Amino acid sequence: MANLANMNLEINEEVIQTIFKETLNQSIITAMGNKEDFMSALINNALNEKVDDRGEVSRYSSDNKYSFLDIHIKKIVQAAAKEAINEYLDENRELLKSVVKREMEKEENKSAIVNAFVQGAVNSFDYNYNFSADVKIEKKEDEYY
């Protein structure tokens, strides 16, 4: 028995940490129940989190009235719509130019363009902007360098 009292049991610290981590992970998983159900709940919570109209959680709770999923889908749809509109306009650029030219040739549009130009020229004489600034640099007597 005397020999057992003098025995030194050394266990590698990494082995202890590994066993501890595994035991802790298993305990957490067991406490949470099914991993898939837990992950599903986390994802559902993240997708339905209330955000502002930019998709960010605002400091003001009254701004957080949309779900993250709704805002994200809206952004994607708008981006796709912009891309489709740009493609359509690029494909029909010549037609668009001819229609714009035809509209500008109409008498009511010609006079509206001329009136806008004249009004802009007249208004430019009504405004006079000046800017002046005075800068003074004084040395403070009580400061030490």
Residues 67-96 have pLDDT tens digits of 999 999 999 999 999 999 999 999 999 999
Write out pLDDT tens, residues 40-56: 888 888 888 999 999 89
Q: In the chain, which residue ranges form alpha helices assigned H by DSSP?
A: 2-5, 13-32, 35-47, 68-91, 93-105, 107-126
Report the alpha-carbon angle 59-64-67, nearest 5.
Answer: 135
CA–CA separation, 65 and 63 (whole Å): 6
Section 85-114 average pLDDT:
88
Strands (E), the chain: 50-51, 66-67
- Quote the pTM value: 0.47
Helices and strands of the chain, counted as H and E runs: 6, 2
pLDDT mean across residues, the chain: 82
4-8, 58-62, 99-103: the lowest-pLDDT one = 4-8
pLDDT band of 145, cuts 50, 70, 90:
low
Given a cut of 60, whether residue 2 has pLDDT beyond it is no
Q: Is the pLDDT assigned to residue 102 strictly greater than 80?
A: yes
* Predicted local distance difference test score (pLDDT) of residue 68: 92
pLDDT(20) > 90:
no
